[in-house]
Structure 1
Amino acid sequence: MSLFNDAQLTNKQIVMTVVLVAGAFISVLNQTIVSPALPGIMSELGVDVSMAQWLITIFTLVMAIMIPVTAFLLDRFSLRSLFISAMALFAAGSLLLAWGPTFSVLILGRVLQAISSGMLSPMIMSILMWIFPLGFRGRAMGLYSLVIAFAPAIGPTYSGVIVDLFSWHFVFLSIAPLAVIAAFVAFFTIEDFVERRNVVLDKLSLILSTFGLISLLYGCSIIGSAGGLSPESIATIAAGLLILTWFGIRQLNLKEPMLELRVLKNRNFLSAVFIIMLFQAAILVLSVILPIYIQTIRGYSATITGLVFLPGAAFMAITSMFSGRLFDRHGPRRPVLLGATALMISFLGLVIIDTGSPIWLIFVIYIVLSTGIGLLNTPVSTWALNSLDDKEIHHGSAVLNTLRQTAGAIGTAILVTVMSIEISAYPDPDSIAANMAGFNATSVCMAVLMIVVFVAAFFLIRDKEKTGV
């Protein structure tokens, strides 16, 4: 409560913050509960693995489409109506998934959930920045980061327990009431902070962003699934990049763009986005290569993999709050450089491990890595949005989240390709030695990216508050 008291928030604003954080928790938790339910879904509905994976793929694609649209929605509609709508869509999608008589119904449910999650991420970040005074925004974003770090840690475990005790239907049924409660409380607590504008949605912009993001992210997912480049993935990614370039040029020439890309003219914001994109490009592939090392190369169980990730998530959550406090007191430079250093050390650790490395070393490396994420992510994101005028924050949040997700997808695709090339160079690509070589090669690339992040942070980030270019 000290954060709320120090920031001199009203009781209504405190409840509003709790509701927003709860909405973020529900949204992020939902992203990690599907995988343990997939075997039961496949068995009951008679679908194969490639078909079942669409429950994850379609969510990612639709969520990416909604993030840039949310900036327009925040200009046009009230915060209360948008948040309640997002929670209502989430509850409806969850109930469809709980019912789930056919796979098509499940897909529809995931689409509704993805629309909700795509709206919530930039919306909640923007509202928290509007609620909290300038000197408390780091801790506010730290609280948000704590929640989005904690939710994925418990999601798979929670889902697995529910599936074992009941069935996969109850996994989705159990989270629907949480969204309903959040929507009910939001009706009485959420208020507007920015003036509504009677803007008109540019339909061509919506079409371009939709097809551009779908093409780019789907092409990247093809690389991830196939384990390397293919003519289909190259063509799809190239088409996506061309369409998104057209989208960007159009936004810069519209008087009232769907997504205000002119925020990138702000030097501090642009610097922060550059650092976050490099960081995200390296980090996201960890969810692919670490399980390969632990399970495929070392032969440990999926349970051990989960145990490796669990303490890291706890450290990430704690250091997110700590880095937010450091940001409010000293500015972004100290926590960001500490985080970048921890990330460099941890990735270099991944470079030197081999088939005989003790499992406790992997625990330690991942804890250091997660600590680095917590120290870096919160201050950079807060610094980025702090550099903008309050009227630009929602557009800045949408731009930041869109580019973060795009960079993660592209980075994962590139790094998976590096791993695939290294593995294919061996006479026996399925051998442990080949997989180990691919893992180390990918780790080298991630370490290089983190060195670039450190250098960029060292030269670009300063503690002086700047709100202009």
Structure 2
Amino acid sequence: MEPHENTGHPRRWGILAVLVISLLVVVLDNTILNVALRTLADPVHGLGASQGELEWSINSYTLVFAGLLFTFGVLGDRFGRRRFLLIGLVLFGLSSLLSAYAQDPGQLIAARALMGVGGAAIMPVTLSIISNVFDPRERGRAIGVWAGAVGLAVAIGPILGGALLEHYWWGSVFLINVPVVAAGVVLVALLVPESRDPRPGRVDLLGVLLSVVGLVALTYGIIDGGEHGFDRPVVWASILGGLAVLTWFVAHERRSEHPSLDVRLFRVPRFAAPVAIVGLIFFAAMGVMFFSSFYLQLVRGYSPLQTGLLFLPFAGAQLIFAPRSAAMVRRYGGKAVAVVGLVLTVLALGAFAFVDASTPIWVVLVFFFLQGAGMANIMPPATESIMSALPREKAGVGSAVSNTVRQVAGALGVAVLGSVLSAVYREDIASAVDGLPAPAREAANESISGAYAAAGQLGPAAPELIAAANDSFVSAMHWAAALSAVVAALGILIVLRWMPGRAAEAPAAASVVGEPELAGTA
């Protein structure tokens, strides 16, 4: 084969468009959910969900999603990527219907977990198919478009969710997934070619089980501690037990002949450094997005639709910069582009530590734009670095690792930063609610949403409670934002120390890992 010949599929750009639609249904759902949190917390117009239940409505999806990505990445490589994409889309649509008609927070959490199964079948195969149908010289550009689709979903989700919540009941934010799924199923069946690994390995059932149990236990302990306090043995038993199971998982993966995650890949800087960056940045960013929705809707008084529109600068920056990041990497190198992106993200996240109830809203919009621009210049080069460390037939491995780390880090970010937010809020508001009736005091102590609900029953005392709740929430937001900026800043150190520069040659993953099955070429 001549070096100049393009080895990509003739319909590769049409296929990419179909994969973007499939990706939209996964990302759209989570961005819509962000603006629906306040409504879900409302006992009259929603489900009366507590702060912990709201976090679990996000984390039940992400934990199942992350726990099954390993399995579905391997199964997709073995039995057919298009087949798993179709299965995932259908399951995602059905679980969206169940979520829309949930009667209580528990049912919603369960339906969201089932939705995570569908998402786990969709997400890894989209990147695997991109790696399979695109020539390596075009793969960076294609991944930039794929990452830009996340920005599109971030733009559409909050606006669409806000518009639906203003005119329909809360379940409509899940029903909107159904037509997107239907379009995706038809287009995938018509355009996307089937592909699979010619030499698949066995499914690592023990590894999958350990990863799911460990992640659920760890995150449950963090969420429960944030909601009810970290001074109870059950919380630390859950956290330490989760860490112990995850340690067992790593040890098992090192010994397994067919691991879900080949942990030896993390000895390859081109693979390990971007994986760490993705984890840190999503840990920081998802926690900030979680409390930003409450800040805009409660402290600042914006409607769900207005809140969705206020997230547009973040999404717009993603749409502008993500597709162009591949060209920036070619010109300046992945290390330089990632450092600039991380610096912008750290500045934007840290800036929320100085935002209060009277900060001009245009200033907040600037911070959102900077965060979007920063993340748009982190994800594509990081994802391309991860995917290029493996041959085409093992694309499912790189895709599963990248997406698992992203989802797990996002779930832990919501859990940890949400716990910090809850703990600081409760401590700050305690003195202000001492004189309230017991039901109102308990509701106000739980969350700012509870304080607003309690204020509706207090008459003349309501303004004082709302002011105290806003002050306590803003103070808690400052602590959470500062922690998120510190976490993201660690990524800068990792890039400078370990991520290969422009002139660095990509090391062969197979030679480091020592796996014959990874030694193939694209």
Instruction: Tell me which interval the TM-score lies in, with the shorter structure as reference length.
Output: 0.7 to 0.9
Matched letter for residue 382 of structure 2: V
Match of 1:251 in 2: 253
What CA deviation, in whole Å up to 9, does each residue of 1:185-240 have, x standing for no partner? 32343234543345433332232122122212323333454586754333222211
Residue of structure 1 equivalent to 2:277: 275
Return closer, same or farther for 1:108/1:330 CA change in 2, 3 Å cut-off: same
Distance in structure 2 (CA, Å) of the matches to 1:260 and 1:27:
26
Could you tell me how far 1:435 is from its partner in structure 2? Answer: 3.8
Quick one: distance in 1 between partners of 2:178 and 2:303? Answer: 32
Structure 2 equivalent of residue 363 of structure 1 = 365
* CA distance in structure 2 between the partners assigned to 1:300 and 1:46 by the alignment: 18
Q: 1:44 to 1:436 in 2, by over 3 A?
A: closer
Matched, 1:327 2:329: yes
Taking the aligned partners of 2:99 and 2:488, their CA distance within structure 1 comes to 39
Q: Contact between 2:214 and 2:246, CA under 8 Å: does it hold in 1? A: yes
Measure the CA separation in 2 of the matches of 1:117 and 1:352.
36
Could you say what secondary structure the match of 1:284 adopts?
A: helix
What is the CA–CA distance in structure 2 between the aligned matches of 1:11 and 1:366, rounded to whole Å?
38
**What is the root-mean-square deviation in Å for CA atoms of aligned residues?**
3.4
Match of 2:455 in 1: none
Task: Check the 8 A contact 1:60/1:114 in 2, yes or no.
Answer: yes
Please name the residue that 1:404 is paired with: 406
Q: Is the 8 A contact 2:162 2:306 kept in 1?
A: no
Question: What does residue 376 of structure 1 align with?
Answer: 378
Distance 2:147 2:226 in 1: 27
Residues 1:456 and 2:458 are matched in the alignment: no
CA contact (8 A) 1:337 1:454 kept: yes
Letter in 1 for 2:478: N
Q: Tell me, in whole angstroms, the C-alpha distance in 1 between the residues paired with 2:173 and 2:482.
A: 39
**How much does 1:331 deviate?**
3.1
Q: What TM-score do the two structures reach when normalised by structure 2?
A: 0.78
Give how far 1:319 is off: 1.2
**Matched-pair contact (CA < 8 Å) for 2:12–2:134:** no
C-alpha contact 1:139 1:328 (8 A) present in aligned 2: no
d(CA) in 2 for partners of 1:42, 1:344: 33
* Residue 11 to residue 41, structure 1, CA distance change in 2 (3 Å): farther
User: How far apart in 2 are the matches of 1:109 and 1:343?
Assistant: 33
Maintained 8 Å contact 1:228/1:416: no
Whichever residue aligns with residue 443 of structure 1, its letter is: A
From the superposition, tell whether residues 230 and 320 of structure 1 become closer, same or farther in structure 2 (CA, over 3 Å).
farther
Q: Does 1:466 align with 2:465?
A: no
Bigger drift between 378-387 and 171-180 goes to 171-180
Matches of 1:64 and 1:420 in 2, distance apart?
25
Q: Aligned-pair distance for 1:24?
A: 0.3
Contact 1:93/1:108, CA 8 A, preserved across alignment: no
- Cα distance in structure 2, aligned partners of 1:249 and 1:439: 38
Equivalent position to 1:389, from 378, 388, 391: 391
Answer yes or no: is 1:444 the counterpart of 2:482.
Answer: yes
Aligned partner of 1:49 in structure 2 is 49
Distance 1:369 1:436, change over 3 A: same
Structure 2 distance, partners of 1:156, 1:315, is 15
Q: Does residue 21 of the first structure (1) align with residue 59 of the second (2)?
A: no
Would the alpha carbon gap of residues 127 and 298 (structure 1) be closer, same or farther in structure 2, given more than 3 Å must change?
same
SS at match of 1:285: helix
Q: How does 1:81-96 map to 2 (within 5 A)?
A: 81-96=83-98
Count residues in correspondence.
Answer: 464
* Contact 1:138/1:328 (8 A) holds in 2: no
- Aligned ranges 1:129-278 → 2 under 5 Å: 129-168=131-170, 171-197=173-199, 199-223=201-225, 225-226=227-228, 231-278=233-280
* Stretch of structure 1 that moved more, 104-113 or 149-158: 104-113
Shift, 1:77, TM fit: 0.9
Question: In 2 relative to 1, CA 44–190 (structure 1 residues): closer, same or farther, beyond 3 Å?
Answer: farther
- Give the distance between the partners of 1:42 and 1:428, measured in 2 at CA: 25
Of residues 15-24 and 286-295 in structure 1, the stretch that sits farther from structure 2 once superposed is 286-295
1:346 deviates by 2.1
Q: CA deviation at 1:451?
A: 3.1
Q: 1:308 to 1:445 in 2, by over 3 A?
A: same
Distance between the aligned counterparts of 2:180 and 2:49, measured in 1?
30
Bigger Rg over Cα? 2
In structure 2, relative to structure 1, the CA distance for the partners of 1:309 and 1:45 (3 Å cut) is closer
Distance 1:7 1:110, change over 3 A: farther
Deviations 1:72-128 (A, max 9, x none): 213321112111111221233234456668988766653442211112222212221
Aligned to 2:112: 110
Report the equivalent of 1:3.
Answer: none
User: Percent identity of the aligned residues?
Assistant: 27
The offset of 1:270, in angstroms, is 0.9
Change (3 A) 1:227 1:28: farther
Q: Name the TM-score, length of structure 1 as normaliser.
A: 0.86
Instruction: Give the superposition deviation at 1:466.
Output: 0.5
CA positional deviation for 1:465: 3.9
1-structure distance, mates of 2:328, 2:375: 15
1:23 offset after TM fit, Å?
Answer: 0.3
Q: Which one-letter code corresponds to 1:49 in the other structure?
A: A
Contact 1:351 1:443 in 2 (8 A): yes
The runs of 5 or more residues in structure 2 that have no matched partner are 433-467, 513-522
Distance 2:427 2:44 in 1: 40
1:229 to 1:413, Cα distance in 2 relative to 1, 3 A: farther
Greater alpha carbon shift after TM alignment, 355-364 vs 344-353: 344-353
Unaligned runs of 5+ in 1: 1-5
Whole-angstrom CA distance in 1 between matches of 2:102 and 2:127: 32
Q: Is the 8 A contact 2:151 2:316 kept in 1?
A: yes
